[in-house]
A and B are shown apart, each in its own frame.
Chain A
Amino acid sequence: MTQAHPTATPSGPGSPALVLDGVSVVRGGRTVWSEGTLAVPAGSVVGVIGPNGAGKTTLFQVALGLLPVAGGRVEVLGAPPRRGNRRIGYVPQNYTAALGEAVRARDLVALGLTGSRFGIRRSTPAERARVQDALRRVGAADYADRRMSELSGGQQQRVAIAQAIVDDADLLLLDEPLANLDLRNSHEIVTLLGELRRERAVTIMVVAHDLNPLLPVLTDAVYLLDGHPHHDPIGEVVTEDLLTHLYGTRVRVVRTAQGDLFTRSG
């Protein structure tokens, strides 16, 4: 691997999954955030946090190549962002809400593998095996042949993650994957994220409005503070001063006897 230019990072193991260098983003004439300079280490599990409207989803759209930046340089997995990057798996916010009766879980996962292909061709046994493997991986194999509308919120979220990993993505972007999940399902999805990271050296970025359920697996955080994105190891982010400043309301950090961290307001 050769160094392309001074601040650039070579692609490959150990190099950052996402690099922002003086990036600003403008949408509809409004600056969403600016002066973004950070590097997300490969293989980390990153919480993307910040108050509503701070531009968390916007950060994902930049990484996906769906939104051009107004200034600065972006590098995703060692290359400029581009739409249709097969190395990124993406689960949008409210993902499952739009899906109705018209699709089975298995077919939805298959779309993550072959959905952008034109022309008629039956899926190959190898492709079907990869779909089955992804479904098994997230624990969704038992209900793979049901319609999405027949699944619970937690089951739908598993299927969505299966679709994101079916093409062996190196970077997973999950937008509010725990929204509308009860505690048990939320806990299981978090456990799944930890397992995925251990098994496949994948970088996972998770937008979350609540840090607590994710704390057991997070290694890093990107936080949008005062209109700028910052990156730090998770231990440096979960502090009362920073979180209180971030959310604009008093936040306390509690460490339990077992060593678990919690944040609470008030």
Chain B
Amino acid sequence: MHLDVLAAVQFQDNWLQVLQTTFMRHAFLGGSMVAVAAGLMGYFVITRQNAFAAHALAHIGFPGATGAILVGAPVTLGLAVFCVGGGLLIGLFGKRVAEREIATGTILAFATGLGVLFASLATANASTTTNVLFGNLLAIGRDQLWVFGGFTLLVVVALAVIARPLVFASVDPAVAEARGVPVRALGVAFVVLLALTITMAVQVVGTLLLFALVVTPAAAALRLTARPSRVAALAVVFALVSVWVGLVLSALVNLPPSFFVVTIAVLIWGGVLLATRDRHEVRPGRDADTAHGALPRVPEHTH
């Protein structure tokens, strides 16, 4: 029994040839595009406190994918429709985080239930459902690559145009609104871009592991720098490294890449967390007020 398990994790002599196969080339290309889009979006997902929404959108995509199988439509289309629709629906609920989280969680639960129903109705083979839940980079076909290319291009171009006001609206919404930034419209645009990114990412790492590609690289980058452009660039690098190293490792031992992609992303995040632990726990600024002794200058202060 134990030996069988070990036998499954076996070094593949032919890994270099595996890397040169068509499905591997597709996987590298598709994975890289997703990494770029996810890395760029990550900064905004975190500053807008949308991490939970990102996680939920991936689950909302699940019935989209299984529903598409049920009616014989492309999985990417089903994912995109449900993610965008779900995102807009979540966006309708109040600005207050607590309110939004409850709505998000409720929609998430319903969507997952719907996904299970569709999956059983479609009598989809188990591997298709597994692909949606856990992702399968190695199953990405030529058609999907074109869609990925279009989505990634759209995300990159749109972000380039709205980046500055979106940063303003994300970190400082009240002032941004007073300054004439279209905060609500930007919020809708952001949700649509996020939905497109998630539609791609779900096919790489799956519904259940999506967080590791959309949020984790940006979270690690944010520990190292707070300049938005650098956070975005670093997050893209971290996501790319996760996908590339993950794919090579998967070829080396002939196991699905999702596990390795997520593991590399988590290792980078953990490493950065350890390396920056001191810097973030000591807050020199916080002490500055009291350092000089905050003795009251005004003798009497009552109201």
Contacts and interface: CB of A to CB of B under 8 A. Distances in A.
Interface of A: 64, 66, 83-86, 88, 90-92, 95, 98-104, 107-108, 111-112, 114-120, 143, 146-147, 149-155, 163, 182-185, 187, 210-213, 254, 262-266
A103 B298 CA distance: 34
B298 A187 contact: yes
Given A84-B179, A116-B164, A150-B285, 15 more contacts: A90-B179, A95-B175, A100-B171, A108-B171, A115-B165, A117-B165, A120-B160, A150-B283, A150-B286, A151-B286, A154-B289, A182-B289, A184-B295, A213-B301, A263-B303
A118 B164 contact: yes
Contacts of A118: 161-162, 164-165
| 10 closest cross-chain pairs (CB), A and B | A84-B180, A115-B168, A92-B174, A151-B285, A102-B47, A264-B302, A183-B296, A184-B294, A152-B289, A64-B178
A263 B161 CA distance: 52
Nearest to B181: A116
Nearest to B282: A150
Interface-central residue, B171, B172, B301, by most chain A CB under 10 Å = B172
A90 B298 contact: no
Nearest to A173: B178
A117 B166 CA distance: 10
Contact of B297 (A155, A184, A210): A184
Residue with the highest number of chain B CB atoms closer than 10 Å, among A99, A108, A185: A108
Main secondary structure of the interface of A (DSSP, over half): mixed
Nearest to A64: B178
Nearest to A100: B47
Contacts of B173: 98
B234 to A, nearest CB: 13
Nearest to A266: B302
B214 to A, nearest CB: 16
Given A263-B303, A265-B303, A120 B227 contact: no
Nearest to A103: B171
B226 A115 contact: no
Given A92-B175, A152-B286, A152-B288, A102 B43 contact: yes
Nearest to A181: B289
Interface in B186-233: 222, 226-228, 231
Interface of B: 43, 46-47, 160-165, 167-168, 170-181, 222, 226-228, 231, 280, 283-289, 292, 294-298, 300-303
A11 to B, nearest CB: 19
Contacts of B162: 118
Interface of B is mostly: helix
B303 A210 contact: yes
A153 B228 CA distance: 23
A152 B180 contact: no
A102 B295 contact: no
A149 B168 CA distance: 16
A150 B294 contact: no
B218 to A, nearest CB: 10
B140 to A, nearest CB: 30
Contact of A213 (B163, B170, B226, B298): B298
Contact of B285 (A95, A117, A146, A184): A146
B187 to A, nearest CB: 15
A130 to B, nearest CB: 16
Nearest to B303: A210
B179 A112 contact: yes
B177 A187 contact: no
Given A102-B46, A108-B171, A118-B164, A187 B297 contact: yes
B227 A104 contact: yes
A156 B180 CA distance: 23
A263 B46 CA distance: 45
B50 to A, nearest CB: 12
B296 A107 contact: no
A115 B168 CA distance: 6
16 contacts: A66-B178, A84-B179, A90-B178, A111-B172, A116-B164, A118-B161, A147-B226, A150-B286, A151-B285, A182-B294, A183-B297, A183-B301, A187-B298, A213-B298, A262-B300, A265-B302
Given A114-B164, A184-B295, A264 B180 contact: no
A83 B172 contact: no
A90 to B, nearest CB: 5
A111 B181 CA distance: 11
B285 A115 contact: no
A99 B179 contact: no
B176 A116 contact: yes
A83 B180 contact: yes
